Amino acid sequence: MTQLVDQYGRIHDYLRISVTDRCNLRCVYCMPAEGMVFDPPEKIMRYEEIEEVVKVAAKLGVSKLRLTGGEPLVRKDIEILVEKLSAIPGIKDIALTTNGIFLAKKAKRLKEAGITRVNLSLDSMNPVTFSEITRGGDLSKVIAGLEACFEVGIAPVKINVVLMKGMNDGEVDDFLQLAMEKPVHIRFIEYMPIGHDDDGWKNRYFPLSNVLDHIKKLGYQPVAEGTVPGNGPADYWKHPDAKGNVGFIHPVSDHFCQTCTRLRLTADGYIKPCLFWQDELFVRRHIGNEEAIADVFKKALNIKPENHEMAQKLIGEDTTFQPTIRRMSQIGG
């Protein structure tokens, strides 16, 4: 079978698809306070175009997909896209990353359409702090979405927590308690400098080594690699009495680029080989030409660097390439 292999020997079988740059929240690490100027509808890829790109990707060995945004559930009839993608030969896994606000209403239909797993962005268990981080979000709706996943059989659910100094770094034990009580995978994530044209993010950066030291004292033990379903780079730990477990994604302090297997399709039709760097190739113009689409994927692998250099950016060193100026909501995370 044809495979997408880059110059460093990494086999890429995973495509993250941003279906929209729009979002109903304004999280502090994703958008500026003034919000974003969103792309007009005609600039966003149609479902049929996304389907065509994925059909080519599947022939090249891609078997795992993740739908992201912006917020994917603000896209009308997202279930139709899920059905189209789940019917493509070779696609074995379709996950969804969502802020959960609309999830309670859509969980059953999404599962029926073919969603296999859900990642829920939930940065605080405190309603006031949650509203501050999301700039107006309602925590109760996200919790309802989580419960809906359990009810329809989407489990376990991964919960993404971007830890930020002075905002939610005091809530670690609250999330640990959630993993004790529910079959969830809590994933603590370091704040990344994606799309920031200044160094303000450094003031909120919180290294995960602090949390790891804490859970070791509480009796958590490492989980064997490969036992947690999904495509993520997290290192997982589990308490013997817990229903769930805890993972760490530390792209800044300890990058995982050597095991990266993912490419990204942006909502406006670009293949992006690395989240951090600005390099991306316009694939939408080749809709209708399978060979040209395949060639874009191969070219993307040829320009994919060995690693990102977020750690260098943290300490103020020059980077080898140009970091992206797109915000996280525009890329798809």
Query: What would the pLDDT profile of 256-294 be if each residue is shown by its tens digit?
Result: 577 788 899 999 999 998 876 678 999 999 999 999 999
Number of domain units in the chain: 1
Rounded CA-CA distance 227/313 in Å is 33
pLDDT digits (tens, 9 = 90+) for 145-166: 999 999 999 988 999 999 999 9
Beta pairing, strands 245-249 & 235-238: antiparallel
Give the chain's end-to-end CA distance (angstroms, integer). Answer: 29
Q: Which residues, including other chains, have CB under 8 Å from residue 247's CB and lie 6 or more apart? A: 158, 185, 186, 187, 188, 228, 232, 234, 235, 236, 237
Domain containing 177 — which CATH number? 3.20.20.70
Rounded CA-CA distance 92/62 in Å is 9
Residues of the chain with pLDDT under 50: 196-197, 311, 313-315
Give the chain's length: 333
How many C-beta neighbours within 10 Å does residue 261 have? 16
**What's the predicted TM-score (pTM) here?**
0.90
Q: Around 1, how many Cα atoms within 13 Å sit in the side-chain half-sphere?
A: 13
Q: Which residues pair with 262 in a beta bridge?
A: 14
- The SS3 assignment for 18 reads strand
Radius of gyration of the chain (CA): 19
The candidate with the shortest Cα–Cα distance to 278, out of 320, 323, 221, 234, is 323
Domain boundaries, position 80: 4-331
Rounded CA-CA distance 321/106 in Å is 41
pLDDT digits (tens, 9 = 90+) for 45-59: 999 999 999 999 999
